[in-house]
Amino acid sequence: MSDFEIRAALPEEFDAVGAVTVEAYAADGYIGDNVEDGYADQLRNAARRAEQAELVVAVDYSGEVLGSVTVVRPGTELAEISRDGELEFRMLSVTPNARGRGVGAALTAAVLERAGGIAAQRVVMSSLELMKTAHRMYERLGFTRLPERDWEPVPGIQLVAYSFEL
C-alpha cells in the first residue's frame, strides 16, 4: 500500500502543482539555459494546464503535492505528438523529496488507466533526450521508443518519443 493517492488536481492545489513541477525540472537541470525561454513559466502555470487538459496529482495523506502529470487529448492546445486514437501526457514531475516512492510510476499508470477509459489505442509522450532516469522508468512500465516522432521544439533541444500500446 502506498502512502499517497492519485487523483485530479483541485484548484486550490494549482500553485503547489506549479511549484513542484518547476522544482522537479530545476533539480535535474532541465530548465535554465538548456531549454526554450519561458518553459519554467509554462511548467508553473498549472491553472492554465488544468483548463486545457486533465491535471492529475499525487498527494500524501497530509495533502502535500508530491507530483503531477498533464493528460492531453490529440488536437488540443497542449498536444504535441498525439494523433487520433491516442492519449498524450506531458510535464510528469515528482518533487525531489518524494522520489523513489513510486510516484512517477503511479502517475504514469493513472494516464494508462485514463487512456483505457476512453478506448485510446496508444499512449504517447515525448521527453528531453537528457532525461535518462525517466526513460528507464517508462521502459520498465512497457513503453517503447517511437523514433519517427522525435522532434525539436527549438533548435538544439531534442525530444524523444515513447509509446505504450493498449
Domain definitions of the chain by residue range: 4-124
The CATH T-level fold of domain 4-124 is: Aminopeptidase (3.40.630)
Cell output for 9: 488536481
pLDDT tens string 94-136:
999 999 999 999 999 999 999 999 999 999 999 999 899 999 9
- pLDDT (tens digit, 9 = 90+) per residue, 18-40? 999 999 998 888 886 544 557 88
pLDDT of residue 34: 45
pLDDT score for 37: 52
Q: What phi and psi, each to the nearest 5 degrees, are found at residue 29? A: 75, 25
Q: Quick one: which of 82, 84, 80, 53 has its CA closest to 69? A: 53
